[in-house]
Amino acid sequence: MTPSARIQAAIDLLDAIIASARDGGPAADTLIARYFKERRYAGSRDRRAVRDHVYDAIRRAGERPETGREAMIGLADEQPELAALFDGSTHAPLPIEPGEVGAVAGSVPGWLVPLIAAPVEQDALLGRAPVDLRVNRLKAAPEAVAPLFPDAAPIAALPDALRLPEGYPVEKDAAWKDGLVEVQDAGSQAIALACGAQPGMTVVDMCAGAGGKTLALAAAMAGQGTLIAADTIRSRLARLGPRAQRAGATFIETLLLDQSHEARGLESLNGKADIVLVDAPCSGTGTWRRNPEARWRLTAARLDRLVAEQARILDFAAPLLAPGGALVYATCALTDREGKAQVDAFLRRHAGWTPEAIDLPLGRAHGAGWLLTPGQDGTDGFFFARLRRTAA
């Protein structure tokens, strides 16, 4: 492919990604993979260059553009060498017309700006994310694993964490294949640490998904006790099985819940749990470094639905705790509606709960909880809070 043809390919892909974001279709990575599967003539350098153009354009535009051409012209406004490739040659985009406007640059969609928690450094939300590892203590100690990754650096305050450069191919490494490490963002590791799980406890990971935090809790419990990974989506829970097998965390139990009738499936656990982690569905604003296209999918109506769903999950999770137990609420979101305000609303609805101070060397206090941000902490963005049940 010529450099100009790569620009046109990026425009074509951006058109598909914009339409998919608008209509709730497949993610950008899926669309890119399909595009090149149908175009075997594109070599590895072509694929890499086109992908870079696509993601550079996505990262640059906070608001969803109308067209892929608009997105790429916005990028070309800042990179004159790209503008020169709009030359109208074979397989190339038509020249940029005088006055033709590109997408406006921005990190956050305009409607969302006032909703982002005030301490968040918004310009840092789209930086490139490193690869963070968690050493799996069910199989190895950090001091034994660290030499296996000479390019890794420890992460302050997280005893099991190692940080590798962006794009490091961990899943090709023998240490990953043998279950010595898991890929897990440092912020996610901090939440698992804040849960305070210990051997012999009864712990429920309420929105377990594929089980990243479940596996961290399993390691903290040293494989002893009751650890239940619950979710309403079978395909997500199915991904946990092979991961738990590789990690040696075979004591994990999975519980598939019926959407909208979760409390019915949890009745046998009422009043028995020492810890319940609610890693709730959220806007994903804290994960834009990894998924910048998510900004184009989020709407005010979807945010309203997410906030209502978070409250509903907290309400059916709370009865599971024994007196003295801890409910840990977490979201990979940086809007106060999903974080500080959500916890405040829970405390107004439920008597007999007390928020506990969280003391970690990374992050900062925010309302009744704790805030991690890419700008200050170098992690994905998270809000989490630990609420102690003080009465039955």
Bridge partners of residue 385, in order along the sequence: 329
- Is residue 170 exposed (0-12), middle (13-18) or buried (19+ Cβ within 10 Å)? middle
CA gap 329, 206 in Å, rounded: 10
Rg (CA), the chain: 23
Element (H, E) at 153: strand 153-155
Annotated catalytic residues are 332
Element (H, E) at 337: none
CA gap 168, 163 in Å, rounded: 10
The 3-state DSSP class for residue 275 equals strand
Reading the block at residue 122, the tokens are 């918004």
Residue 308 amino acid letter: A
CA gap 379, 372 in Å, rounded: 7
HEC-encoded secondary structure of 100-152: CCCCCCCCCCHHHHHHECCCCCHHHCCCCCCEEEEECCCCCCHHHHHHHCCCC
User: To 10 degrees, the CA torsion angle through 151, 148, 291, 344?
Assistant: -110
